[in-house]
């Protein structure tokens, strides 16, 4: 599923000759900018309000999430990273870093252990 989505995104980009603009630095900046646009939807909302958006707001939030996902997919592609593989690796690292016994119901962040890196 992710492979086909990546192919569609890259095809869309390449048909428009946008690869020239998609270096890793600019893609990382685009992700940060789109993330800020996502956050705008939550600005000045209470926690309860953030759980009960109207349908127009949900559409807007979905579009920002899609923008982030698109740029993230292109960035991973440009850096020759397999999203499924790196997410699975990170989940394994987090499984060791946040064992259920000590992490369940606890939002405290644990410092990474030495050598506990993806690469």
Contact 41, 50 (CB under 8 A): no
Query: Taking residues 21-49, what's their average pLDDT?
Result: 98
Lowest mean pLDDT among 43-47, 77-81, 114-118: 114-118
Topology annotation, domain 2-81 = Helix Hairpins (1.10.287)
Confidence of residue 117 (pLDDT cuts 50, 70, 90): low
Using a pLDDT cut of 70, give the percent of the chain over it. 94
pLDDT at residue 79, as a whole number = 98
**How do the domains of the chain map onto residue ranges?**
2-81, 82-119
Mean pLDDT value of segment 13-29: 98
pTM of the predicted structure, to 2 decimals: 0.87
Residues contacting residue 96 through CB under 8 Å, at least 6 positions apart:
113, 116
Q: Cα(37)–Cα(68) distance, rounded to whole angstroms? A: 10
């Amino acid at each position: 599923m992710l492979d086909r989505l990546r192919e569609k995104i890259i095809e869309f980009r390449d048909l428009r000759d946008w690869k020239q603009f998609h270096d890793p630095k600019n893609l990382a900046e685009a992700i940060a900018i789109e993330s800020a646009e996502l956050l705008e939807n939550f600005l000045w909302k209470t926690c309860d309000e953030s759980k009960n958006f109207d349908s127009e707001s949900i559409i807007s939030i979905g579009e920002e999430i899609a923008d982030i996902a698109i740029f993230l997919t292109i960035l991973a592609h440009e850096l020759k990273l397999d999203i499924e593989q790196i997410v699975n690796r990170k989940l394994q690292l987090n499984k060791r870093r946040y064992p259920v016994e000590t992490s369940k119901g606890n939002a405290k962040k644990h410092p990474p252990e030495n050598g506990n890196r993806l690469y």
